[in-house]
Structure 1
Amino acid sequence: MRSFWFLALACWVWLAAAADLYKVLEVSRSASETDIRKAYKRLSRKYHPDKNKEPDAEKKFIEIAHAYEVLSDSEKRGIYDRHGEEGLRQAEGGQHHANPFDMFSQFFGGGGRQEQTRRGPTMLSEIEVSLADMYTGKDVDFMIKKRILCDHCRGTGAASDGDIKKCTGCDGMGVKLVRQQVFPGMFAQTQSTCNECGGRGKVIVRKCPHCGGEKVIDHTAHYTLEVRPGMPEGHEVVFEGEGDESPDWEPGDVVLRVRGQKIRGSWRRKESSLYWRETIGVEEALLGFERNLTHLDGHTVQLKRTGVTQPGLVQTVAGEGMPVFGGNGHGDLYVEYNVVLPTSLSPDLKRRLADAFHSTRPKDEL
């Protein structure tokens, strides 16, 4: 085990006593077992010292493990709610505390006793964000419709705990033994799932009025997606354990696939490069020009040409592309020039073009 564990075990209770266990797990006092389990799952991963190198991460990890050990046990939670940490210490009377690292391994199946917990399906959704938001970064709110445990019956499907009774058809075993005669004087005994309780061993005598005994209800969940600068097209962000809930499985994940909005005639992107099409007139194409291009975040990029600009010419502006995702710097910006010919020439434009061309011709051709 870790060398620090022996010292940490001795002061574990003292560390946790200074904090409200519900606040440690960032849940309310009315939190369900599922809420507590999800909070431990999220926070223990966040503060595990193998991944989090902050100075107080290990201490925080131990506090989270202690809070989960207490609040996930209905008896310990009841004592804590009534009498606090002091009452809990008296009730435990020096009882051995679980090793927080062993608890983490068992919870995530990384060692020790592994729980064969069924996982619900993964929910995949796509969200479109503007290219400007992918350039600068932004928090984007979105909603997903899913099913959650009924907040009235907490997934039992019964109006109250007293409305859950032992199945009389199988005597709470979940299976029935059927005796069939094979030959005269010879019988065979088979086992089948109880058709009255569906193998659960319990029946509901009065259904929950809120969910009608379905155990789950429809819910619209609100989330915030952190769009980081330079996030790639099709990048997937995983919200762990936020899928459909059921009393029969652990919630799966919500996977959000990020797509950039496609706007005709606007900016285009390929990885860390940006593409822009600039339209210029024949005078600018022949005589040169200076223009200001407003970038995705509002800053100005100067476009300048002193010579002849051929239609379709692509000018490279270094460092003005998308931010490099997870790295430093920016890609490049590629500006393609589209030359538009006028339907007619004004006298002033004719004179200017004539002056430009004649001024460059040899004197013997004048």
Structure 2
Amino acid sequence: MVNLHNLYRGLALEFHPERLKQPNAKEVFTIICEAYDVLGDPFRRAIFDQYGEEGLKAGVPTKDAFIHPYHYHGDPLLTYREFFGTDSPYADLLDYLKNPPAIYETAENKAVKEKKPPIKHPLVLTLHEIYFGGVKKMKIHRLTFVDEKQTRTEITEKILSIPIKPGMRPGTEIVFFEEGDQHPAYEPADVIFITEDKEHETFVREGNDLIMLVDVTLEEALLGTIVTVNTLDHRTIRIPITDVIDNNYEKIVEGEGMPILEKYPEKGDLKIQFKICFPNYLPKASREMLAKGFQLAKLGGGCRQHEMINKLVLADKILRVGPEERFPPI
């Protein structure tokens, strides 16, 4: 994941008009600074992510208030100055003079400490942890200095507290700067945890939605059923299915998915998909009744065959009820 501040630093220095003597350098520099002015502010970035540039610059009506249009102040050097603390196109060199890199000495010479490549670890999270958020503790072992001259190291243990935001997506990188091994000749590496979703027994995560696969019998597929869902927040909900279920049927339950990271506490949807289990055997009477239903449906144009079958099944059930159990005539 690209760090926004590092990206802006590099592009702003590269396209500074006094540093890059090109005809369109100022225009590109202005675009870079305006983009950082938007993306560097969490509120503006949230509006841009949801409504795009048009919504950001035109304003957005909401149920509570009207979000006023965004207008860039038009001074890219102001944005540059607020970030670097100077108008100089050589801010990187000034920073180098103020904060020179660490030096280590050997018996033969002096050298600049190079930083070790980042150390990446997978961070497997359950859907329950992602749903509620919180803090996850991870233990690491690393070499640390044990003397004042910083020449000797020993293995030590450290507990890192990793913040988990509700709705955090897989592939998110959580960086702990310079938490790697300490060494006289190197700067410690960054430790990066990369999130992964742990497999769940019921749900599969797809963006902000949860997918649930349910097995139903042919009878349930034709006549309807009720699906019981045990949610991640420990509720039990019952979803009536009254439509005929086919291989492409999907029941969407709004607001029962995962938290949306940028819009918390809003949630995605629960999408229930179905696998129809056909019977291994059908009695002759059942075959004849189904055959009759399909034949009548074809005679009627071949459309909505399931309605005809439903009526036949219902009529068959009524005929099976004894006379003494039937309702009296109206």
What is the TM-score of this pair, normalised by structure 1?
Answer: 0.46
Q: Report how far residue 234 of structure 1 moved.
A: 0.8
Query: What is the aligned residue count?
Result: 196
Q: Report how far residue 155 of structure 1 moved.
A: 5.1
2:122 is aligned, of 123, 126, 142, to 126
Q: Report how far residue 111 of structure 1 moved.
A: 7.7
Partners of 1:228 and 1:330 lie apart in 2 by 13
Q: Determine the structure 2 residue equivalent to 1:336.
A: 273
Q: Report how far residue 254 of structure 1 moved.
A: 0.9
1:290 is aligned, of 211, 214, 226, to 226
Structure 2 stretches of 5 or more lacking a match? 1-39, 42-84, 86-90, 103-112, 291-308, 317-330
* 2:259 partner amino acid: P
2:215 is aligned, of 263, 267, 279, to 279
Identity of paired residues, percent?
Answer: 23
What is the TM-score of this pair, normalised by structure 2?
Answer: 0.51
* 1:114 partner amino acid: N
Residue 229, structure 1, aligned to residue 166, structure 2: yes
- Map 1:1-366; keep pairs closer than 5 Å: 110=95, 113-117=98-102, 118=113, 119-150=115-146, 153-154=147-148, 156-157=150-151, 215-263=152-200, 266-328=202-264, 329-344=266-281, 357-359=312-314
Partners of 1:295 and 1:247 lie apart in 2 by 52
Partners of 2:141 and 2:278 lie apart in 1 by 53
Partners of 2:229 and 2:149 lie apart in 1 by 58
| RMSD (Å), alpha carbons | 3.6
* 1:133 partner amino acid: E
Partners of 1:216 and 1:275 lie apart in 2 by 50
Q: Report how far residue 340 of structure 1 moved.
A: 1.4
Question: Would the aligned equivalents of 2:177 and 2:189 in 1 still touch at CA under 8 Å?
Answer: yes
Q: Report how far residue 275 of structure 1 moved.
A: 0.9
* 2:197 partner amino acid: G
Partners of 1:281 and 1:299 lie apart in 2 by 25
- Name the one with the larger helix percent: 2
Per chain length, whose mean CA-contact separation is higher, i.e. which structure has more relative contact order (CA < 8 Å, sep 6+)? 1
Partners of 2:240 and 2:229 lie apart in 1 by 10
Question: Would the aligned equivalents of 2:208 and 2:269 in 1 still touch at CA under 8 Å?
Answer: yes
Partners of 2:252 and 2:120 lie apart in 1 by 38
SS of residue in 2 equivalent to 1:326: helix
* 2:261 partner amino acid: F
SS of residue in 2 equivalent to 1:244: coil
Partners of 2:204 and 2:178 lie apart in 1 by 35
Question: Would the aligned equivalents of 2:181 and 2:189 in 1 still touch at CA under 8 Å?
Answer: yes
